[in-house]
């Protein structure tokens, strides 16, 4: 059981080396990192190494890693079974822009685990996979528009960065007539206009949209759960209704399985929810952290390649990625890694739930055991706009406080906790729960103190309970 948090002093992280690196890195890289999502200001983390379910920063602070690189590390960091295989294969050379047998092996495994996929091609990132999936849909249907759901993230190409993750929901526009909100500058208006925002879990909205613009819509792209918004789940029947509606209007359905693929089930969210999409995208868990990704679909739809549509890439199917996919997907196919992950996730979700209940807070644990979010609210969230009504400030404080207590979730409630196979080892589950318990207690204490200083002793609890 987790230790009594009151028995421990408030922990702090060593930061000397990382603070110096942050100053140095900012001279060389915008924000001091290679991705906007890693810019955490003075708390920006510079990593040393990872092994299994753990990660260590360059000041020697160790954490149970609940970010897992935003999901790809499905087995654990530095998994010898994958790394040894990749090492062996890469000695034969890495990049030829010719096709190796590893690539055929990798795609055959994608097909075997997702039997509805007839043909697939490798890319290097999820971004490339969704970009090409959208192009396939446009090439096949001859239509231009793509429907995407508010709060869903499909990577960093221009067609994906619409209505993704504003903090202020008013920016998304009226609920009945949402606007296509470009995330940042540099996205041409004409490109943005081809992406039509929709509201997740709202099938009536989708029907009205299809009736109005269906003849111009090539596809709906969907993260099967809101994997970039706490893992908000579909309402019962939502995916089935969306599948039927897309078929009725001759619109293709793209499942973006970049986060859910090979994680929710061997056949991803499509298998888990019992849906057969037309196209799917895979990345992350496909290569246990190596940059392996793919897009694929049913025979007729994929037949636009190679003659009628462009797709290529110097590194597409490179040996490192292909070998990593082969080793990882064989392990997912042949071992009980996923069952272990799901059982570990259930243990952590149960433990977290009990700890929150003990504090009398309203909450919902969302998502799937392998990838879940914690929302402080008494309402079940069903779309991105609902996230605004949760006490995400409390979540962020708890998540950040966990770092100094030895566990690292993303300090943003929109990003789920990820579970890998190695999290089942040793006392990792207890360590996560101890970190959560200590951090939750500290955050609530701080709120109570702030409130009493402000003469409002009830604020801490009522804020959370009201969502
Ligand atoms: C659902 C989804 N699609 C696409 C992407 C983009 O993948 P990548 O970061 O590999 O470009 C992500 C990344 O987080 C994602 O979560």
Q: What pLDDT does residue 459 have?
A: 34
Q: How far is the centre of ligand 1, averaged over its atoms, from the C-alpha of 142 (Å)? A: 26
Q: Are 165 and 228 in contact (CB under 8 A)?
A: yes
Residue 455 has a pLDDT of 58
- 9 pLDDT band (50/70/90 cuts)? low
Q: Would you call 41 exposed, middle or buried from its count of C-beta atoms within 10 A (0-12, 13-18, 19+)? A: exposed
Q: Is 152 touching ligand 1 by the criterion CB < 6 Å?
A: no
- Calculate how far, in angstroms, residue 69's C-alpha sits from the geometric centre of ligand 1: 11
Residue whose structure tokens are 């080396």 = 17
Average pLDDT over residues 373-380: 96
* Residue 458, pLDDT above cutoff 80: no
Atom of ligand 1 at shortest range from CA of 152: 1
Q: Residue 268 C-alpha to ligand 1 middle, in angstroms?
A: 15
pLDDT at 452: 78
CA-to-CA distance for 55 and 52, rounded, in angstroms? 8
User: Ligand 1 within 6 A of 415 CB?
Assistant: no
- Residue with the two structure tokens 């890289």: 29
392-408 burial, b if ≥16 CB within 10 A, otherwise e? bebbbbbbbbbbbbbbb
**Position in ligand 1 atom list of the atom nearest CA 155:** 6
List of domains in the chain = 5-74+336-466 (3.90.1150.10), 80-334 (3.40.640.10)
- pLDDT, tens only, 159-210: 999 999 999 999 999 999 999 999 999 999 999 999 999 999 999 999 999 9
Distance CA 151, CA 155 (A): 12
pLDDT in tens, 96-155: 999 999 999 999 999 999 999 999 999 999 999 999 999 999 999 999 999 999 999 999
pLDDT of residue 6: 46
Cβ count near 69 (within 10 Å): 15
Alpha helices in 122-264 (DSSP H): 126-141, 189-192, 203-213, 238-248
User: Region 397-408: what's the mean pLDDT?
Assistant: 97
CB distance 227 to ligand 1 below 6 Å: yes
Query: Is the shortest distance between the CB of 258 and ligand 1 below 6 Å?
Result: yes
Q: How many angstroms is it from 251 CA to the middle of ligand 1?
A: 23
Question: What pLDDT, in 10s, does the model give residues 309-357?
Answer: 999 999 999 999 999 999 999 999 999 999 999 999 999 999 999 999 9
CA-CA distance, 403 to 14, in Å (whole number)?
11
Beta strands in 283-408 (DSSP E): 293-297, 364-368, 371-375, 407-408
Position 11 scores a pLDDT of 87
Alpha carbons 117 and 128: distance in angstroms, whole number: 18
Q: Locate the ligand 1 atom nearest the alpha carbon of residue 223 and give its number.
A: 1
Residue 444 to residue 433: CA distance in whole angstroms: 16
The residues carrying an active-site annotation are 153, 256, 284
Mean pLDDT of 16-40: 97
Q: Name the residue among 266, 264, 256, 267 with its Cα closest to residue 228.
A: 256
What's the pTM?
Answer: 0.95
pLDDT at 362 over 80: yes
pLDDT at residue 461 above 70? Answer: no
């Amino acid at each position: 059981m987790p230790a009594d948090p009151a028995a421990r002093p408030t922990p702090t992280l060593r930061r000397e080396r990382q603070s110096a690196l942050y100053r140095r890195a900012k001279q060389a890289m915008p924000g001091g990192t290679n991705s906007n999502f890693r810019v955490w200001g003075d708390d920006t983390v510079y990593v040393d190494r990872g092994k299994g379910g753990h990660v260590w920063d360059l000041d020697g602070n160790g954490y149970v890693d609940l970010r897992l690189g935003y999901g790809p590390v499905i087995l654990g960091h530095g998994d010898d079974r994958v790394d040894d295989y990749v090492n062996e294969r890469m000695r034969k050379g890495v990049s030829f822009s010719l096709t190796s047998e590893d690539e055929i092996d990798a795609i055959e495994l994608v097909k075997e685990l997702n039997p509805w996929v007839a043909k697939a091609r490798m890319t290097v990132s999820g971004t490339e996979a969704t970009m090409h999936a959208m192009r396939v849909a446009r090439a096949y249907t001859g239509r231009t528009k793509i429907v995407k759901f508010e709060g869903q993230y499909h990577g960093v190409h221009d067609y994906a960065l619409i209505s993704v993750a504003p903090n202020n929901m008013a920016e998304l526009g009226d609920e009945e007539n949402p606007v296509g909100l470009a995330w940042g500058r540099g996205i041409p208006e004409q490109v943005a206009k081809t992406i039509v925002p929709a509201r997740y879990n709202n099938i009536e909205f989708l029907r009205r949209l299809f009736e109005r613009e269906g003849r111009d819509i090539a596809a709906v792209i969907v993260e099967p759960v809101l994997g970039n918004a706490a893992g908000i789940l579909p309402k019962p029947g939502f995916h089935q209704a969306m599948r039927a509606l897309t078929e009725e209007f001759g619109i293709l359905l793209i499942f973006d399985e970049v986060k859910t693929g090979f994680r929710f089930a061997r056949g991803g969210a499509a298998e888990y929810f019992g849906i057969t999409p037309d196209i799917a995208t895979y990345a992350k868990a496909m290569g246990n952290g190596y940059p392996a990704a793919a897009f694929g679909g049913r025979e007729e739809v994929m037949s636009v390649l190679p003659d009628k549509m462009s797709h290529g890439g110097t590194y597409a199917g490179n040996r490192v990625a292909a070998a990593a996919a082969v080793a990882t997907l064989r392990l997912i196919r042949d071992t009980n890694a996923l069952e272990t992950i799901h059982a570990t996730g259930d243990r952590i979700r149960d433990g977290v739930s009990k700890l929150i209940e003990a504090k009398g807070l309203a909450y919902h644990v969302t998502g799937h055991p392998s990838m879940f979010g914690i929302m402080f609210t008494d309402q079940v969230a069903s779309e991105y706009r609902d996230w605004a009504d949760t006490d995400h400030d409390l979540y962020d404080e708890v998540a950040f406080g966990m770092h100094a207590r030895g566990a690292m979730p993303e300090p943003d409630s929109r990003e789920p906790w990820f579970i890998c196979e190695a999290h089942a080892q040793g006392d990792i589950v207890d360590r996560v729960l101890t970190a959560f318990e200590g951090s939750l207690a500290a955050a609530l204490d701080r709120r109570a103190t702030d409130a009493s200083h402000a003469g409002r002793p009830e604020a801490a609890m009522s804020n959370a309970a009201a969502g």
